[in-house]
Structure 1
Amino acid sequence: MRFRSTSWMHFSPLYVSDSFDAVSAFFVSNPEATLCPIVDRTGKPVGFVSLQAFQRLISNPFGYALNQKKGVAGIMDRNPLVMALSEDAATVFGSIRDKSDLLTNGLILIHEDGVYAGCLNALGVFHALTEIHASMLTDLQAEIEERERAERKIRQLADTDPLTQILNRRAFVREVQSLVEQGAPFMCALVDLDRFKPLNDRYGHAIGDRVLKVLASRLSEMEGCQFACRLGGDEFAFVLGGDGALALDMAAHAQSALLSPIETELGLVSVGASIGLAAFPQDAADETSLMYAADKAMIRIKSEGGGIAAFDRRQDMSDMGAEEFDKTIIGAVKDNRFQPAVQPILDLRTHMIAGYEVLARWPDSGFSRQPSPKQFMPAVERLGLIDSFFWSMLNQALRWLPDGTSFLSFNVSPSQLTSHEFADNFLNALRRHGIPPERIELEITENVLFRNIDTSKQVLGKIVGAGVSLALDDFGTGYSSLSLLEELPFNKVKLDKSLLGKKSDSGVLPKVLTGSLKMCREMNLISCAEGVETSWQLEQLATRNCDLIQGYLIGRAVLCKEMTAPDLNVRAG
């Protein structure tokens, strides 16, 4: 702020030759003046008489009389504070350490040529200082805010995953540590996506990144999920407040959100999600141990086919390492140590064994407890070994299949249906073994939507056209089964065992199951109920015209090499 911008005023100056009476007349004529400027004959300031000094001179009864004979030269201060109108007031005031005279008397202002221009009285100085201080405070506040914004941005960049814009591992660990220090119960959840790697490899990083961004957004927006974080790759984490059933319910909602299909430029795609939970302080007392416990639970449930698992010290701390397990899987596929087993399927219309479903077993795994398909199949898929695994199972089972009319049913991975070569390789395998296509059935789940539906339709259409039957497996467990029945050439629906429920007081099957059976009849689809374990279930299904059933009641899966009765066309006892 320049002095010309202050509230300065022009007071007519006095000359050195003027009398004492002239000074008195000046202050009477200019009551707002706090000093009387004195100039020489050229108009340049040479001194001043302050109002305070003048009042002291006339403060006693004889003051006026004693000083009346004195001229201006005898009472003036010859060291005036003189500033040019063009000077910066903030710089000038800042250079004056003691501002008491300024705030008492004010100062004299001059033009660029040094000629008197006016005065800035004491009140004007005060207002100028106030304005300068306010401006300085505003600038300082703006600078502080800018620095804070910059610091926040730096912290955000340091704490944020660059792809998904949610917290990164560093920030998540800090938040979990803070919660541990507070001491209130909570649960730590670690998420590993299922089937993400093949999606990323097949369709490219653009689709993979799109999936990661959408899933991150869903987690961050979900009520109850705190501190949503991307740990790295296809791994996420979040915190659930409290513990027990409520936390498990929130975890189930989170998993459901992750499983929902995602719109991409290639159409709808979906992935699975394995979630491991660990509770503070029951499972661990610090953030490192807590995340480790959640990770162990996640690895366990992922090996079992996916889902949600809470940390169990007895199970999770005794499992072998995931890396060692993967190495063992690779060797087992290479050496054809996985073997086919067959489970009978009963025709309720003829009470004959109509066929068998081929299931994979690992009888010589070398472990004290043989891994189940829910444990080893996800690893086979994740490691990209599903093709070698499938053709080994197919060839072993086809070599075993005896003469007759009963069928064999094989489960097919959705990833295989994205290859146009699959149909030719499959049909060539049937020809090599001399097996009519009519004796073979392929089962697929609605996860086929995870891949390109158009390619899947072409591949399956060629196989079905050769005479192979197509069954929709696990009907009733997903969200798009009905639309799939319209999209693909199915002739059979396998009703998931979850639809059977338990025997109720009313002694009837669940309405969803009876409705599904009715739908199959109306759509001319063969119905097959899985998981039948009681005679009551068998009777109820027979009454409602279910076509086929399988489950422990009919028979457990037996290794093909251990089958003693090769004839499949036998009547069920």
Structure 2
Amino acid sequence: MKSLRSEISFHTIASIAIVSGLIIGLSIYVYEKLYIEFVATEVNATAENMAVDLLGVMGEPAGSFNQAQVLLRLEEYEYVQSAGIYRNDGVLLNSYIGSANQKADQHSLTATVETAEVSLLSDDSIVENLPEGLHHIHSKVVVIKSIGETSFPMGKLVLAFNLEDAIKESRLRYITLVTPSVVVLILVFLLLTTRLHRRSLKPLENLIKTMDSVVDEKSYDVKVPETSKVETAALSRAFNNMMTNIKLQSELNNQKTALLEQQQSEMEKLANFDVLTGLPNRQHLMRKLAALLARAQMTNSEVALMFIDVDGFKDINDSFGHDTGDKLLLRISSLLNQSLPDNATLGRLGGDEFLVLIDNVSSRDEIENIASKLLKAADNTHNINRIRLGSTISMGIALASNCNYELSTLITNADVAMYRAKQEGRARYEWFSLSMYEATHRKVQVSTRISHGLAHGDFYLAYQAKVGPKENIIGFEVLLRWYDEVLGHVSPGEFIPIAEQTDKISQITLWVVKRACEELPLLIKEFGENISISLNLSPQDVNSSEVTDFILGGLASNDIPAKHIEFEITETAYMNNFGYANSFFEALKISGCHLSLDDFGTGYSSLSYLTEFNIDTLKIDKQFVSQIGQSERSEQITVAIIQMAKSLNLLVCAEGVETKAQAEFLIEKGCEILQGFLYSRPTPLKELLARRADKFVI
């Protein structure tokens, strides 16, 4: 690649050569013109003198000595080609052939007239027609002079000078003399211009070196001095400004890069570690567990998984708030993490669920020893937000080899074992067994089919009659039944707890409320305007804004006929959601609905909170009704409940009435509403409407 200096030098040399050549050529041209003019002037003067000298010899015969003697004066002129003396009639009297026209092998001063004539005719045939004077013909100078007076000429003298060789020789001599000087001048000029170029390009070279150093060293804190030359100063100034901007931009980019790296580190931490506890999160745990299982399968080693759930955490969260719950989880996770060996990893799966991954398991005893330490560490008392809270955990344990090292199956197995630990009394661990899986598989099937059943009409309502003291029908309790094409008949005692555990109970409640309101007009038409229906609410329904908003919105728009609707909730559910439940039920009362407290007498604080419940009806649990006639204590409790309800102006409903004796006892003691198999089993609407109303009367 050419450098700028070499290119400038080449252009300079080429320019000098061209200019020098033009100057030399022009000077040669001018020199030749001046030379020809000089020769012409000299020839003209010579011809003038010879014409004067020939006046006295024109009368002599042709070829006379005197004539030839005059012509021989031309010997001193090297480039005379020829000369001739002519009479007025054009006859050639004498001639001269100069050295410029002689042949190398034959030249003679005594050339014959004929030869001269031939020479003149051959070379100067056109001179006869030329007027007197000086003429330039090609490279020749021809002078024609009259001999004698112009008015009375005696003849004419013709001189021809051939300047071609003279010019060539003169040109060669000129070039020979001038060329060395020109070459020396060119070399001196080149040397001078090279030094000037180098000096002029020095700032540019410094700039290039500085730029190369920037590329090599990646340092933008550089500057170049500004010279006195406008162009290089502007270039240096632009470079310095550019470097200043690059430096500022680089510093800004470095700051942004540092910030991005920090954010990336934080994002990676957020992506892999739990924000609350700082433990590995679900994503991190799944990746690590997958790697452990792959390695264990290749080396035929064992991996154990512990699925941990904090006992009663939901109640703590609901009762004391999420801040207290979060602090409790943080304390428990710290205690658990401190109790683990080096080959175990604790991570938070979500909520109050944790996983422990144990690699290179040597024996079952090793796992049970770790499990015992974790149970002991979690069994502790904590003072959080001035509240004294106890904590325990339930744990399920599964081995990778028992599920062919399948990740999802291993987690499911440990989860199933954890739920068995919950069922067996909590604060304990359970090893996974195949029998647990079968029970869990049934739960998973039930949970999965609930949404399908609601969408495809597999659920239906059954109605159980409520009768008054005179055995007349005064209402119905709405009960839910489910027949699934895969599972067959599924008992409410089975699917309701599963629906509550999987957060599907609210979907069921909404479906029941909608369907009951659709079927209510048919019941009213068949059994009278005073008929009401009782709908059961789950504890989760009371906490669900979707359910409460739907019910209150339906009451406001009359889609739910308030005077025909009674909502039932268990005492325990009311107590666990006392604050929110009271405000919700107050809104129901204002709308015109009736409220019933179900399963009364089974709660842990019935009497202390009974006066706080804004209810209309108290339902006596069937465990007391079933003992009437068999247990005097149960009868006394039943009577006490009825009397207490009377004193609070509440209606009393006894459920589970199955015998005539039970009905008579309850009616005698003042019970206003009876419900049980004695009067009616839960019956689908179609069958209910097909029966006559009087068939429900004893």
TM range (shorter): 0.3 to 0.5
Q: What is the TM-score with the length of structure 2 in the denominator? A: 0.40
Structure number with higher relative contact order (C-alpha < 8 Å, ≥ 6 residues apart): 1
Q: What is the TM-score with the length of structure 1 in the denominator? A: 0.47
